Amino acid sequence: MAYRIGWFTTGRDEAAFALLNCVWERIKEGIIPGEISYVFVSRAPGEASVTDQLFELAGKVAPVVLHLSARDFAPDLRQENRELWRDRYHQEVAALIRPYSVEVIVLAGYMLIVSARMCQEFPMINLHPAPPGGPAGTWQEVIWKLLEMRAPESGVMMHLVTPELDKGPPLTYCTFSLRGGKLEPLWEAFEKKVAEKGLPAVMAEEGESEPLFAAIREEGVKRELPLIVYTLKALAEGRVRVGQGEVLDSRGLPLKHPYCLNQEIEEHLRSGRW
């Protein structure tokens, strides 16, 4: 029986479309021995043209497409009490997806924080733009922290979603060096600027366009989609499993160390083959 995957997205940009399409293609090719049982979208048809394109793709990818507009759900409550709104919204979402049993739910461009009850009832995984033990926060916050720390490497991980934001146990990860090659002259230029005017000024003046910042972002982004693909492959093949609030190995025992996917991902980046 194929490994059953649920898919959560907001569908707010072309990246969300590309991610769903890529995973679907890998399923059709047999790279991921699974199926997408449903797609849930936190927007309604007609809410945005780019989301409508995703709805069209979702209809081809999955037998069931579900949606509940976060924008239109109790907007007054959302302004008054965001946590209560989050809980009530996801109660409705849970009722929608409960009839469709899956083994894992992937948050893929899902722009909402799921409620505590939601992630305790359903096994959900999410991508975080840092390796296990790395900085928390948004990808922007992560990169600035890496630069502040003069970190020698970074990475990307997939982790179990828990009530504590970005703190769930990691399933899989990959790493990449922040030194040598094309990055070395960027480090030299960065250090010179920081010595002259300080990191806060560099952050304020250049932001995401700072060359070293942008290069690190590029290295992370190009590994995100392969990490999701190879994580789903590892899950579908039983090499790693998600349990109730914990990550398990192939024998069903607590996973001692997150599953490193460097070899598969670097080979894909080198060859272009899955």
What range defines the domain where residue 232 resides?
3-271
Q: What are phi and psi of 86, to 5 degrees?
A: -60, -45
Strands (E), the chain: 3-9, 34-41, 64-67, 104-107, 124-128, 153-160, 170-177, 240-242, 247-249, 259-260
Closest CA to 242 of 125, 156, 157: 125
CA distance 118 to 129: 23
Single out the residue of 169, 155, 160 nearest to residue 227, CA to CA. 155
Q: How many domains does the chain have?
A: 1
Mean pLDDT on 177-204: 96
Angle, alpha carbons 255-123-19 (nearest 5°)? 100
CA dist 50 and 159 (Å) reads: 28
Q: How far apart are CA 174 and CA 6, in angstroms?
A: 23
> Which tens digit of pLDDT belongs to each residue from 201-259?
999 999 999 999 999 999 999 999 999 999 999 999 999 999 888 999 999 999 999 99
CATH, residue 55: 3.40.50.170
Q: Is the pLDDT of residue 33 over 90?
A: yes
Q: Which residues pair with 153 in a beta bridge?
A: 177
Tell me, what's the pLDDT at 240?
96
In the predicted structure, residue 164 carries a pLDDT above the cut 90: no
> Nearest-CA neighbor of 115 among 93, 96, 95?
93
Q: What is the mean pLDDT of residues 76-93?
A: 97
Residue percentage of the chain with pLDDT more than 90 = 96
Q: Give this prediction's pTM.
A: 0.95
pLDDT in tens, 36-76: 999 999 999 999 999 999 999 999 999 999 999 999 999 99
Q: Are residues 28 and 56 in contact, defined by beta-carbon separation less than 8 angstroms?
A: no
